Amino acid sequence: MSTICVHGLGYIGLPTAAMFANYGYEVVGYDVSEELVSRLNQGDVHIEEPGLRAFVTQALESGKLRIESEIVPSKYHLICVPTPFDTESQRADLSYVEAAASATTPHLRTGDTVILESTVPPGTTVGTVQPILEESGFEAGKDVALVHCPETVLTGDMITELKQNDRVIGGVNGVSTEAAVRLYETFLEGEIRTAANATTAEFVKLLQNTYRDTNIALANEVAKLARDYRIDSRAAIELANSHPRVDLHQPGPGVGGHCLPIDPWFLGQESDELDLVARARQINDEMPAYVVNLVDDHFESLAGRKIAILGIAYKGNVGDTRMSPGLQVAAQLRAIELTDEDSDGPAEPPRISLNDPHVTDQTRDLEDLETAIDGADAVVITCDHDEYAAIDPETLASRMRGSVVVDTKAIVDEDAYRESALTVVRL
Q: Tell me, rounded to whole angstroms, the distance of Cα 140 from its chain centroid.
A: 32
Q: Which helix (H) or strand (E) holds 216?
A: helix 198-228
Q: To the nearest 10°, the Cα dihedral for 292, 293, 294, 295?
A: 60
> How many CB atoms are located within 10 Å of the residue 337 CB?
7
H-helix segments, 42-164: 52-61, 95-104, 124, 130-134, 158-164
- Measured in degrees and rounded to the nearest 5, phi and psi for residue 352 equal -110, 125
128 burial type by CB count under 10 A (0-12 exposed, 13-18 middle, 19+ buried): middle
- Nearest by Cα to 292 from 391, 378, 421, 417: 378
Gyration radius of the chain's alpha carbons: 24
The answer to whether 380 touches 392, Cβ cutoff 8 Å, is: no
Distance CA 12, CA 20 (A): 12
Q: Which residues are known to be catalytic? A: 205, 259
The answer to whether 89 touches 120, Cβ cutoff 8 Å, is: no
What pairs with residue 28 in β-bridges? Answer: 5, 66
Distance CA 79, CA 115 (A): 6
Three-state SS at 190: coil
Distance CA 380, CA 153 (A): 28
One-letter amino acid of 74: S
Q: Which residues of 361-373 are buried (b: 16+ CB within 10 A; e: fewer)?
A: eeebebeebeebb
> How many CB atoms are located within 10 Å of the residue 30 CB?
26
Distance CA 79, CA 98 (A): 10
